[in-house]
A and B are shown apart, each in its own frame.
Chain A
Amino acid sequence: MLDRRRLLLGGAALALSGCKVFDSATEPDSRLRALFAGHESLTRSAQRAVMGDRLAPEFSEADIRQGQRPNGSTDPDSADYRRMAGSGFQDYRLTVAGLVDHPQSLSLADLTLLPSRTQITRHDCVEGWSCIAKWQGVPLGTVLDQARPKLMARYAVFHCFDAIERSLSGEVFYYESIDLIDAYHPQTILAYAMNGAALPVANGAPLRLRVERQLGYKMAKYVHTIELTDSLVDLGSGKGSYWADRGYEWYAGI
């Protein structure tokens, strides 16, 4: 009788008590979290296996029904960034460094001279919303080819102008990374234009990443440096991205 009650009412009792028993899973080092996180590599491998190098769905002009909703940082306030924005990003330089044979320093004009790709895609925020916009930019693969990654390079790390967090230990600038499979995907572009106009500051001017088969937080805004590395251990807390260091998946395909 007791067993039956327990079974019948167990779920209801847990719900009513506010499920606080599972709150320890929010602690980064908890064993409960480690148990639940065990599926992450399975989830990534499964997604990679089913999607191969297929393209994210693209949409038509008629599907653009609103402006692109800005999220995260929308107005970086560092002096350097302010000055650049004030002069239309004329002295902006994209640095490509790290494990490359030919480090690059590219102006916005240099980037716009390279062959561009335009795509109308759906931006999915981890929160759950979606927004369709047209993005134009240079394929990341083209820029990487110019820099000639060394054989041991595995990741492209993006360093950004926006301080997403301020703490006693100083400012934390946004950082993100993708592996070279995604970096060389044809839809992975460094976008400098959106919906037919120069990329607005709120959406990451002068240059933001588009990784169309992953969630929005992977698509770093205000990118100033792309660093090729063979490991992500030394970046932030070692999970490879600002949000991954805060409990989100590094591979954000779902």
Chain B
Amino acid sequence: MPQGPVVYRQKLATRLAHWLWAVSLFFLMLTGLQIFNAFPSLHIGQESGFDYDNAILAIGARETGSGLQGVTRILGTEFDTTGVLGVSGGEIRAFPAALTIPSRTSLATGRLIHFFFAWVLVGTLGVWLLASAVNGHLSQLVPTFADLKALPRDLADHARLRIHHTAGYNVLQKLAYASVLFLALPLMILTGLSMSPGFNAAAPWLLDLFQGRQTARTIHFLTMLGLLGFFVVHMAMILLAGPLNEMRSILTGWYRTDGDDHA
């Protein structure tokens, strides 16, 4: 456990935004899976191939002698995913009820809640970006040249689970947070908007950028998986670094450092 001085690490705007993002992303993911269930395949291009195959992922079900079988096809290879994908709880549904909001099938409700939290996410990101540009937090997220030089050592330390508690973020933290905030979230928002026929009229260049509405939908899904991966690592790092101290810093802003040469 760190024994050094307690420093004020996260400003109020960052703490508030963090929790609004956490709640929003929770709802966005589970309502997103509800929406995905209405058409459980991912395609490359402007349209979804029905008379030809441009799917990279398809979740379905088929009747077998021993009952319903859930089948997931990824890049042409089929997997039996009965009980999780395709068939779960005795019914045909791509993602199981435990992973969708609402739990029962309701595309209309899923969409309603999805767009509600999309607004919360976009609004929070906008306000936080402005606030962080003003209060200087943005520059704390951008890796410096010195950070990048320290990258190999930081990687080695993380690999040995040797966690340092410093007033600023270490380079892997900066890279992780910056890629979520400046890459993944904007990508989610832009690919989400690319699926809107209305927004397509407003900004047709987005369709060119993502090479079609269905490709945008696929990128939206894959970026979701990326964010899920970030969440898993984020939780693991909090547990490894000392969950009490980490939780205090994201609730109150105050963080106990090692207080030695790493400050």
Contacts and interface: CB of A to CB of B under 8 A. Distances in A.
B85 interface: no
Nearest to A246: B108
Interface stretch (A3-11, A90-98, A143-151): A3-11
B26 A11 contact: yes
A66 B51 contact: yes
Contacts of A1: 244
B109 A33 contact: yes
Interface centre among A11, A16, A52 (most CB of B within 10 A): A11
Interface residues of A, number: 60
A129 B112 contact: no
B88 to A, nearest CB: 11
A202 interface: no
Contact of A214 (B52, B198, B203): B198
Interface residues of B, number: 52
B107 interface: yes
A26 interface: yes
Interface in A155-180: none
B102 A19 contact: yes
Interface stretch (B4-12, B42-50, B140-148, B169-177): B42-50
Interface in B6-44: 22, 26, 30, 35-36, 38-39
B79 interface: no
A16 B103 CA distance: 11
Interface of B: 22, 26, 30, 35-36, 38-39, 46-52, 97-104, 106-109, 111-113, 115-116, 119, 193, 195-204, 207, 213-214, 217, 235, 238, 243-244, 247
18 contacts: A4-B243, A19-B102, A26-B108, A36-B113, A42-B119, A50-B203, A54-B201, A66-B52, A67-B50, A122-B46, A122-B213, A127-B39, A129-B39, A129-B47, A129-B50, A131-B47, A214-B198, A243-B108
